[in-house]
Amino acid sequence: MTAGGGKVALVTGGGRRIGAAISRSLVGAGYSVVLTYRASRREAERFAGEIGGTALPLDLARPAAYRRFADRLRGSHGRLDLLVHNAAVFPRTPVGTLSALEWDAVFSVNLRGPALLTGALLPLLQDTPGAGVVFLGDANAGDLWPGYLPYCLSKIALVHLAKGLRKTLAPDIRVGLVRPGLALPPPGFPRERWERLRAGGTRKGIGSPEGVAKAVLRFAKAGDYNPFNLRPKGASQ
């Protein structure tokens, strides 16, 4: 159980990259943060120790484990005030060589995972007054990058999942969406190409991990039903 009945946040993939910025921000705001990892146990546990959080394993591609995870979270923390769907995969998947396994691997983590995990955690969220669920979309998914079509399509669909859950879960559970822009390059993405992308065209979405974390924190602190598509003031969509 949390000390003094403090608020609890769950951040999927919260030990790395943008997820780490979100986890750190929520700890600074007084949340007990539980962050999940799939394979990077040592890195996640080390980071959780640094910020005073807890790292738990969860493979979003294996929904059979969701109920057990929810039971474990209830047993260890007793409540869930904020669910942050941060974890996602971004593999290069050219259409000419795209396999069914590659397609399913993207959608199982980026779309099916957030949908079914929310369902598994719903009893815990419903037991916590003012609980919220926030999804991380992608402001550039509509560009439909040729080498990353499954990723882009999964993020476009995620927007509609969030909107549907907002209708379904209101007014007891708040649902929001944060749209990062070119905040961090994907692993292995050529640095020069990334800088060209950031320098050219109209900037869309939130441009830094810290900015994304601030938007998530704004949602977490909202006392009433939040506006959709949260983003810092002045940021383009």
Distance of alpha carbon 127 from alpha carbon 54, whole angstroms: 21
Phi-psi sector, 17: left (phi>0), alpha (psi -120 to 50), beta: left
Residue with tokens 């209708």: 167
Side by side, which strands form the sheet with 8-11?
54-57, 32-37, 8-11, 82-85, 132-136, 174-178
- With a CB cutoff of 8 Å and minimum separation 6, the contacts of 5 are 79
225 assigned to active site:
no
Residue among 31, 37, 66, 151 flagged as catalytic: 151
Burial profile 142-170: b = 16 or more Cβ within 10 angstroms, e = fewer = eeeeeebbbbbbbbebbbebbeebbeebe
Task: List active site positions.
Answer: 151
